[in-house]
Chain A
Amino acid sequence: MTTNAAVLEARDLSRTLDQAGGPKSLLRDVSFRLDQGQVLAVLGPSGAGKSTLLRMLNRLDEPSSGAVLLQGADTRTMDPRALRRRVGMVMQQAFLFPGAVVANVRYGPAQHGILLKDSQVVNLIRQVGMAGYEDHDVSTLSGGEAQRISIARALANQPEVLLLDEPTSALDDLSKQEIEHLLASLVRERNMTCVWVTHDVAQARRVADLVLKLEAGQAVGFGTSQELLHA
């Protein structure tokens, strides 16, 4: 048993919404632990609480109870902006900001007073397979191209953990394969710890070391991809 702190750990995470018709539980007592370079696939049908779990990991949503630990430190003790720089996120849709590709890639570091050098920006854009697109207006990009830029934008902050919220589900089949391949290679090359939300079992099998299965807000399975998906 390791005594080192996990890179990312969720302890009994729950989220309940107070609604007019009474409290609604979105997630109940979910726990997991990830070490450096591990990829966790969070699997489950729509409404299972996958995105809710992910959004609590970078504190876009607040847990009702439980805790998230980053390198052993409770994320509630951290400045949310600093936390979100360390825990990057790629959403289902790219949601690029109006303007040039280069401005989008520079956005994250600029929030912390860092101006990326041109060579750094070019390198990031090249890594996501979009070399030469630096000055393109984001409104001219296809869905797959936009998602590539949103990945470069998230990586520009050099996060320790990457959260992926169904990053291929809004794309056509070809783009889906390309983006999955791109993300899987980037995560492996950088030895990043990653939480990848998907409803696609085959995708989870291809990309994940660990799998967390959710149903109706509860964990119904946690183990290695080998144990849960290859059996």
Chain B
Amino acid sequence: MGDLQIGIGGAAGDGLDKAGDTLAKTASRLGLYVSAYNSYQSVIRGGHIWLRVRLGQEKVYSHGDHLNVLIALNQDSIERHAPEVVSGGVVMFNSDKLKCNIALREGVTQAPLPIGALTKPFGPMQPVMQNTVALGALLFLGGLEFDVIAEVLGETFAHKGKPVVDQNVNLARAGYDYAKANFKPLAVKWNFTRKRRPFLTGNEAFAISAVAAGCRFYSAYPMTPASAILHWMATHAERCGVVVKQGEDELAVANMAIGAGYAGVRSMCGTSGGGFALMTEAIGLAGMIEAPVVIVEVQRGGPSTGIPTKTEQADLNQVYGASQGDFPRVIIAPSDVADCYASTVEAFNLADKYQLPVILISDLLLSEHPETIEPDEMPAEVPIDRGALVTSWDTAKGRYKRYAFTKDGVSPRALPGTANTIHVAPSDDHDEEGVLISDIFTNTALRRKISEKRMKKMDTLMKDLPAPKLEGPSDAEVTLISWGSSRGVVHEAIALLAAAGVRANQLHFKYLLPFHAREAKEILSRAKRTICIEANATGQFARHLRAETGFSVSDHYLKYDGEPFEPLQIVDRVRAILAGRAHSLDVTQEEASEIAYHYVRVHLGEDLRPGRLEKAAGNGAGEQIWRIEIVNRDSGEKRGELRVGVETGSTHSWQAIA
């Protein structure tokens, strides 16, 4: 089965993202499945960019866990990522500027590209040209047919005119031909069906699904990693008939969306954790006045401003606890790009039917990584259920009661502009008609019944939500519990575990509130051993699971370094847990190198880099240390030694060679 994992590394501003798009689109049009991840930083230029693109003959569920090809556009990328290339793989780099002078794994070959000579015929050298040459070479190495990239480049550069298009096609061709003449292709076989499939990010799926579901109002304040929803909406607003409002802050954004929802349009707003914090009071308002609204919360690394361009699943406590008081809310965590599409349709229907806020909780990985999905996973026609709407009222039936106490908790809704249904929607607690029962009119009986009416909606809507299911062998020795974006990567890890003789199954949660406590408990009570896998430091979901079911998971795999889970990492951790090996929080060799990179960048400048590392006795540091040689980037000559604590990660000392 064809599976090719490619890494592209360079400096921000090198145009890597565009190169990645071109590659992904080309492969996608050949009929392959693609999943990509851009490990970018919040800087416009400079810094290290690390892009992962994985191609598969069959559906791929993550960006993978190793490299078959590395395209290195700066020296850092060679040093950091060349060791990840597995046997049979290739390290490709611009040999005019870069050297691959580090140890590679066995069976890995170098593919140096003389970029200057290759680009010379096509005009003055610009740094981005090397991307196109490298892509051309990669097509040959990866066994991909050339014609499609010409088509993709034609579309990408159409706005710059034919000369630029031709130049890029020629550059790619030069790379392809050079590789053909000088390198051996990788051992990968493809069947190019050339079936066209949508290739999109989670954020694009949220936006397109919203317009398909009839969203007519979208409000947002710019915040990574949710901004792409705003950008898509703004770009397509006119074509799709959506009013897109950038608010002055998330307070405005949420309250505007709720106002629009109250007035009868399907409305949505989007943000990340910090913005969501500002929205919380409004979410309680939506619960109280029973206004439908959909809120997309795209998590990034917290707390506070946190790691704005990195992924995490640590806002769960926040979405559960958002706003004071008890009120009904729905929380859905889509699991992949196609599920972002499906979940958004569901969210609008639930919001309308049950007149409450629905929170779609995503994360940077899910929202920003692009993935190939099947065309029928994003249908144009989606089910729309607007719930009980009163469009006319016969006063002979008596007074219209906006918050009528009903058995299922749902009170038929009348929109402003309707005759004979005039009422106030109050944030103070109120009776059936919307008249306040707060302050001087406080009425304990009415307060009890209105509260019960609102909360009853949670029981009623439960029947609309499919229960979680155990996937994989029922007699597995371990059950991996996941939620949100980690469904796919855990699924892949389970296949790898099976190949290694470990029988594992998966219990994945999408509907976080209301929670299928009974069903979850029943499944978990039969599990031999459970590991909850989530991208946060405190096991927020495991805690919620315990609160809802009384079930405590046996073990956790918590990741809070900002990078998404990879299949092999899960395999390794699961095997370690099953073998009873304690998990060490010590700084690994790779981590010591990264700590050294940071120190070098902050204090020593760009012409140095970490070299050899070794673990040594503490020597006064009170712990074992990593002794890290710091060398000249070009010559490799030693310039000093950095000492980093193995346990604490602290930079204890830097000693320059005089």
A and B bind: no
Interface residues of A (CB under 8 A from B): none
Interface residues of B (CB under 8 A from A): none
